[in-house]
Structure formats: structure tokens, C-alpha cells
Structure 1
Amino acid sequence: MRDWENLRFFLAVARSGTVLAAAKELRVSHSTVLRRIDQFETSLDSKLFRKLQRGYELTQAGETLYAQAQDVAADIDRVLADAEGKDDATGGVLRISQPEIGILNMYPLYAGFRRLHPDITLQIHSTMQPSNVNQQEVDIVFRISESPPDLLVGRCLGQVKAKAYAHQQYLAGLGSQHNSGDYQWILWQPTAEANLALLARENIIDPNVVMYGASMPDVVSAIHHQMGAGFLSTQQAKLHRNLVPLFDGRVFAHYSVWMLTHRDLRNSTRVKTFMRFMADNLNLD
């Protein structure tokens, strides 16, 4: 059975001549386009592109397929566009999967969205586990990832920056002559495999870790109650005026934030309305 999605990736690369331009058009990662083209060529047992220094050039087989496929793809898009979103309206339930509070706080934006669209009910799932958008367990997912999954469409909203923070009263208690070696550390450890002590040990000489938190709210609360220093997103830290950035505000890590939905839901009125609002109003700087 042929995968019609691979045809869309083929057409995007054929039109643009580069994988990067195709990735921007399809709103997916560079690696996803490469993987899809490789899958398509393998399934057809035919080489469709020649990789040149300036980009991708169609082979004779690719030119033949491109000439025949454009009309077919247009017909498929028209059929799907006519079918999708028929039973949708700017109302009902919108299921959203988001990272834990403490990494990214969306609630100020959710509140603004609800004021504009009171007929839409938001069903929020806060988890670091990947919700299955492909099986449509949720409608929209916010993911911190450098490579979003296949079959999902959306956009990168920017980057979350991680810095080290401590409460100003905690720092005052260390005295004016303290140095970084005096800090006690509160670190996020949601699983045994995802131990953020590594971030501290890569950047801090012999860190004195006094607490591991299984969730980011635990870490935020411990730092807020002056138990020690820890790594937080700058977006989260702005919500707490008494938190002070350490190490002259050095950024220790960057994480890309993607807002994604299943391709079958891209014409849903609820989904389009929400995604447009979030993209226009989320500020990660």
C-alpha cells in the first residue's frame, strides 16, 4: 500500500529544489523530509533525485512522476479539504497536551483565548510523556523537541532558555562574600534516565545536590522556599519576582518548542483558531 504522504514530500522538494525549503513549506524538520524521500524512493525502487551542491535535481524518473503527480495531489487536497472540518465549529472541546508547569506556563494565554472564544472548552493534559496525536488522544500537543514526529504539522514557536536561579533571600543568607561553590542545588529528575544532575555536573564544579524533584512544580516550589538554587526556564522564572538569575544570567541550555496537530485536523476550525492565537501571542524571549 502506497503512502500518499510521501508524495507530498516528494512534490515539495521537487518544487523548491532544496530540503530546507521543503521543510519550511511543510512545517516539519529537515530530517523528516530526508527520511520521507528515502522511504518514497525505497518503496518505488527508483531514484527520484540527484543530490547536487546547489540542491536536489529530479532524475528522469522523478521528472516523469512530478509531471503526473501534480494534478493527482491537487485532486487529493481538494477532496480532503472539502471533507475535513465539516462537523467542526468554533465551539466544543479542545484537547491539549503540554509540558509540566515550571517548564512552560501557557495559562495566561489560555485565559486570553477563553475570553475571546468562550464556547471552546479546554481540556489540558500536563505531562512530559508523549501524548498520542496520531491516535487522536489529543488535538494539539506542545512538545520540546528538535525533531517533531512524522504525520504531525505545526510550527516551532521558539526556544525555551534554561538559566540557574535562586531566591534573593536565600542568596542574602549566604552572605555578601559567597561564591558559586556555596550553592545547594535543587534538580529536576522525572525519571532515572532523565537526570538533570548531568546539567549541573557539566557546568558546576562538584555541585552539592540537596534535593531531586520528580516534577518541575516541585523544583520551582523548593527554589521559591529558599531551599537552594536550580535550573528553570526564563519564561517560568519571570513569574517569580524574587528569583535572581545566577552566573551573570548565563544561558545553560536551549530547547525548541513545537506546537503540533495531526494532519487530518489541520482544517478544524477549533484547531486553526487556537494555533493561530498561540503563535501570535506566545513570547518566549
Structure 2
Amino acid sequence: MFDWSDLRVFLAIQRTGSLSAAARTLRVNQTTVGRRLAELEQALGARLFDRLPAGMVLTGAGEELLPHALGVEERALAVERAVSARDSAPSGVVRLTCVESLGSRFLAPRLGELHSRHPGLRLEVLTGSHVLDLTRRESDLALRLGKPVEPGLASRKLGRMGFALYGTRALLGARPPVHVEDARGIPLLAFDESLAHLPESRWLAKVMGEAVPVLRSNSTSVLFEAALAGLGLAVLPCWLAEGSGLMRVGAAGEGVEREMWLAVHPDLRRVARIRAVADFLAGLIAREGPRLAGASA
């Protein structure tokens, strides 16, 4: 008889495609993942994955096991959510996912207020462009730029975030461009191709034509620091750029806005610790609303 927890290992490998990535997801070492998979395969008497150069690929036996493993996972998570919902005090771990710039430069300096209110909370802030799955408890709360599209989530709009084009005074000269299009020819900084789908990336490509950026990055923080150093113009969140010494390019209304949404699994939204963090975020964003939206966005 196999250990039911080995199914978590099986699903992690299937979702990530490798032992090392599964180990990072499960927060264990790669040796443990390999051992647990071997034990599961021995217990079932079947090889579940083919180890190919491109990664771990399900065998026929693995394909047959997959829907059953997903069903067990969903039932286990439902039990976990039901038990969590009985919490009465805002204490324990809450995992929040958001984009890197929001987490490091906006939220982190303000989390002391949350800790003062609820010292029993332990917050984990996970940043990056990868969207974590709330239904599988990869995260408890998600602060996203754009309305969540996954089915079955409870979400609410918290506010707006404005983006505009910024550069140093030295780069823009004594007479800064009146309109964004007038800045064509000035060195440009932009997101890399992996983030070309973002509204701010599409807007920049539209207004700057065929300009080739001198720097591309998947990090807002990298673009911000490069813009501060005078390397080029960058589309940045207004709350990040204003007051930094950078000058805004273009007139009021020349920029782009994105909606800020908070998402949670509906079974967890009444859990005290999660509700406490959600209420804090909603209040913080409402209070900082004009700054986040950009006074001239």
C-alpha cells in the first residue's frame, strides 16, 4: 500500500516537468522527491514517468493515475479549507502573491502596520510574474494587476495603478518633450519579450514605434534603477517614479492604467487570518489610491 502523500510528489512532478522543480515547489530536496517517486512506482508496480531530455513525461500508467490523484488532492484541499475556516483569531501563516515591485517597494515598507495590529500573523510574500494557483493553496491571497480569470475564485477590485514614461532631467534636456511621441530618438528601456503582452508594454510599443530598447528586463526594479542612472526612458508605475527625481514625459492622460484586484478561494475568505490581511490590503490601497493611480495618469 502506498503513502497517499506520495501523490503530492507525483502531481508536483507532472506539473513542473522535473524533479528539481517539483522539489522547489514542495520545499524539499531533490533526493527526497526522487525517493518518494520511486516508492510510489514500486508500490503501484508501474513506471509513472519517462525521463526524457525535455523533462519528465507521463507514461500510460501515469496518465491513468492522474485523474485519480487530482481527485484525492481536491478532496484533501477541501478538508483543509473546511478546517481552516473554523479559525477565530487572526494568527498563523498567510501566503500572499503579487508582482515584484509591489511586494518589495510598496508593501514591504508598510507591513509594520499589519504586524502591529495582528502580531500573531506570519506573512509570506511571494513575488514574480508566475501566477500561483489559489485553488491548490500555492497561495492564500493574490494581489493582481487585472481581473482574475480563473473560475471559482472570489475577487474584488481594490483600485487602479497608473503607468507613464519617465526619465532623468539630464536625459530629457532643458526642454522635456511635451508629448510622449516627441521623445522618439531618446534611448529606451523596456520589458523583455516574456512580458510583451502587458498593457504597459503594448502601450510603449505603440507610442514609440520601431525604437529598439537599449535594455530589456523582466523586472520593474531593474528598469527603475536603470532609468534613475540615466540609461534611458522607462514605463514605470507612477507611485514608484514620482518623487524619485525622475521626470514624467508627456501630458496628463498620456499613459496607461491597470486595475488592482484581490483574489482568494471562496472557502477561505472568512478565515480570520486571511480576512485580516485582505482587509489590511483593501484599506491600504484605498488610502494610497491617488498615489497609486498617479496624480496625472
**Fold agreement, TM-score > 0.5:** yes
- C-alpha change, 1:87 and 1:192, in structure 2 (3 Å) is closer
State the match for 2:143 in structure 1: 142
State the match for 1:130 in structure 2: 131
Shift of 1:177: 7.6
Shift of 1:82: 9.0
Q: Secondary structure of 2:188's partner?
A: strand
Q: Give distance in 2, aligned partners of 1:272 and 1:254.
A: 27
Q: Give distance in 2, aligned partners of 1:250 and 1:167.
A: 20
Shift of 1:246: 0.5
* 1:90 partner amino acid: P
Q: Any residues of structure 2 matched to 1:160-171 within 5 Å, and which?
A: 160-171=161-172
Which consecutive segments of 4 or more residues in structure 1 shift more than 3 A?
Answer: 81-84, 174-179, 192-198
Mapped contact 1:159–1:284 kept (Cα < 8 A): yes
Shift of 1:223: 0.7
TM-score normalized with structure 1 length: 0.63
Mapped contact 1:181–1:207 kept (Cα < 8 A): yes
The reply on whether 1:253 has 2:256 as its aligned counterpart is: yes
Shift of 1:226: 1.0
Mapped contact 2:196–2:202 kept (Cα < 8 A): no
Q: Secondary structure of 1:170's partner?
A: helix
The reply on whether 1:226 has 2:219 as its aligned counterpart is: no
Which one is further off, 181-190 or 92-101?
Answer: 181-190
* 1:164 partner amino acid: L
* 2:222 partner amino acid: D
Q: Deviations over 1:164-214 (max 9, x none)?
A: 11123332xx44487513421100126175476543231124435211112
State the match for 2:289 in structure 1: 284
The reply on whether 1:235 has 2:223 as its aligned counterpart is: no
Q: Give distance in 1, aligned partners of 2:108 and 2:118.
A: 15
Shift of 1:92: 1.4
Match of 1:202 among 198, 201, 206: 206
Shift of 1:108: 3.4
Q: Any residues of structure 2 matched to 1:83-102 within 5 Å, and which?
A: 85-87=85-87, 89-101=89-101
Mapped contact 2:191–2:218 kept (Cα < 8 A): yes
Mapped contact 2:189–2:232 kept (Cα < 8 A): yes
Unaligned runs of 5+ in 2: 1-80, 291-297
Which one is further off, 261-270 or 82-91?
Answer: 82-91
% identical aligned pairs: 17
* 1:242 partner amino acid: G
Shift of 1:143: 1.3
Mapped contact 2:140–2:265 kept (Cα < 8 A): yes
- C-alpha change, 1:190 and 1:275, in structure 2 (3 Å) is farther
Which one is further off, 257-266 or 83-92?
Answer: 83-92
* 1:284 partner amino acid: G
Q: Secondary structure of 1:278's partner?
A: helix
* 1:199 partner amino acid: W
Q: Give distance in 1, aligned partners of 2:93 and 2:224.
A: 30
- C-alpha change, 1:128 and 1:88, in structure 2 (3 Å) is farther
- C-alpha change, 1:124 and 1:223, in structure 2 (3 Å) is same
- C-alpha change, 1:170 and 1:186, in structure 2 (3 Å) is same
* 2:255 partner amino acid: F
Q: Where is the strand percentage greater, Structure 1 or Structure 2?
A: 1
Q: Deviations over 1:237-267 (max 9, x none)?
A: 23x4201111124342221111111011011
- C-alpha change, 1:273 and 1:190, in structure 2 (3 Å) is farther
- C-alpha change, 1:156 and 1:204, in structure 2 (3 Å) is same
Shift of 1:105: 2.5
Shift of 1:155: 1.1
Mapped contact 2:96–2:125 kept (Cα < 8 A): yes
Q: CA RMSD in A?
A: 2.7
Aligned length: 202
State the match for 2:215 in structure 1: 211
* 2:113 partner amino acid: G
Q: Give distance in 1, aligned partners of 2:134 and 2:194.
A: 23
